[in-house]
Structure 1
Amino acid sequence: MENQENHTENQEFENKTLDDAVPEPTIDTDTLTADQDIADMDAAQEADKMAEACKAWQDKYMRLSAEFDNFRKRTLKEKMDLIASGGEDVIKAIIPVVDDFERAIAALDGKEHVAAECEGVRLIYQKFLDILKSKGVTPIDALGKPMDVDFHDAVAKVPVDDAEKKGTVIDVVQTGYMLKDKVLRFAKVVVGE
């Protein structure tokens, strides 16, 4: 019996000790709510920061995309311009030869003993002009046209009696040439005044 009492006491002691050792958890709702509010605020701030970063990256991407598109268009335009006027320097160097042909034909013209040579020079000259024309080179038609500073370079002014000829090209000293829509060499002209 003593043994049984002792056992009951031990059990009560153990129960009491366990109950005393592990107190019942108490939840402070005020602290929990405040901690949760802080966590919610931190999460909201983090979300705002991420949204701002996302907007910044989107803006950077859009700008970079637009810049690349502009670069692509500019490069394509430069290529087209280069193709269109690729031989411009060569053609500019050849144009004085056309002038020499014109002077040679003018010098040979009217001399009967060199009629065959003159005809040969004319054929070469015409072939040369045809090649230039196939490359997009055309002479500037100036004689009898109003003076235009975009195409003509006035080297002299001559008084004229006819009022209609004032401001018009009376003589062409040197023929001007264009490569497609670009002036290679301005026509040197004499203008009526």
Structure 2
Amino acid sequence: MSPRKKKEIKEENDDMTKQTSEKEMPENEVPNVEEAVSETEASNENTTETATDDAKTEAEIVTPESALIKLQAAYDELNDKYLRLNAEFQNYRKRVEKEKNDIFKFGNEKLLVEMLPIMDNFERALSAADESQADDKVLSGVKLIKKSLDEFFEKNGVKKIEAMHAPFDPDKHHAVMSEDSDDFEVETVIEIFQEGYALNEKVIRPSMVKVTK
């Protein structure tokens, strides 16, 4: 067989193969890769949206039990706030009442403290008058003034601190001397150099004393 004849036969065979392939898979049925990918992505998006919607639906479902729990939590929170505010108000009211009482009880403390030296001078004058047997009229006048001053102090809540022969109390007594004694126990007041005073149970001047050691 001549080479030309072989070439013709080969070309005929190629043409037949091509025609057969075109018949088996028409041009309009050739798969489109881009369209397939788009369809897959759309399907995935629809699946995701459906799952999200299902989750939202489950979250939005409110049962009577869950609603009751929420209401109880809100009530407990409001009740706790109310109790705190009420406690703060009660403390504030007590503090204000105490401040008012302190103003009433100790508002004139400074004035009374400044008057204590006057009382000391009257007591010294009376002590000196008794020792020198001064004129009865003068002594009577001094005693009368001293009595008026005592009444004024008592009316305003000022009282003398009882210190003689009392156990030493650092809150009420100021010890300036000490002395051995067989007649009294240790740390007992045996002499008063200056009287001490308290205003409504508050010491405004301690007694200046001598104590045993």
TM over 0.5: yes
Query: Partner residue of 1:184?
Result: 204
* RMSD between superposed Cα atoms in Å: 3.1
Query: Partner residue of 2:21?
Result: none
- Unpaired segments ≥5 residues, structure 1: 1-33
- Unpaired segments ≥5 residues, structure 2: 1-53
How far the C-alpha of 1:150 sits from its partner, in A, is 2.3
Distance between the aligned counterparts of 1:39 and 1:48, measured in 2?
16
Query: Partner residue of 2:146?
Result: 125
Moved more, 145-154 or 104-113: 104-113
How high is the TM-score relative to the length of structure 2? 0.64
Query: Partner residue of 2:11?
Result: none
Amino acid at match of 2:190: I
Runs of 4 or more, structure 1, over 4 Å off, are 34-38, 41-54
Q: Relative to 1, partners in 2 of residues 1:116 and 1:45: Cα closer, same or farther, differing over 3 Å?
A: same
Query: Partner residue of 2:111?
Result: 90
Distance between the aligned counterparts of 1:173 and 1:151, measured in 2?
14
Q: Relative to 1, partners in 2 of residues 1:49 and 1:120: Cα closer, same or farther, differing over 3 Å?
A: same
Checking the alignment, whether the CA contact within 8 Å between 2:184 and 2:212 is kept in structure 1 is no
Distance between the aligned counterparts of 1:52 and 1:58, measured in 2?
10
Residues 144-187 of structure 1: per-residue CA shift (max 9 Å, x gap): 22212221110101222x15353211110000011122111100
Q: Secondary structure at the match of 2:187?
A: coil
Query: Partner residue of 2:188?
Result: 168
Query: Partner residue of 1:137?
Result: 158
Residues 1-49 of structure 1: per-residue CA shift (max 9 Å, x gap): xxxxxxxxxxxxxxxxxxxxxxxxxxxxxxxxx5864531599888866
How high is the TM-score relative to the length of structure 1? 0.70
Moved more, 139-148 or 113-122: 113-122
Distance between the aligned counterparts of 1:173 and 1:62, measured in 2?
55
1:99 is aligned, of 120, 125, 129, to 120
- Identity percentage over the alignment? 35
Query: Partner residue of 2:93?
Result: 72
Whose radius of gyration is greater, 1 or 2?
2
Amino acid at match of 1:185: R
Query: Partner residue of 2:137?
Result: 116
- Residues paired across the two proteins, number: 162
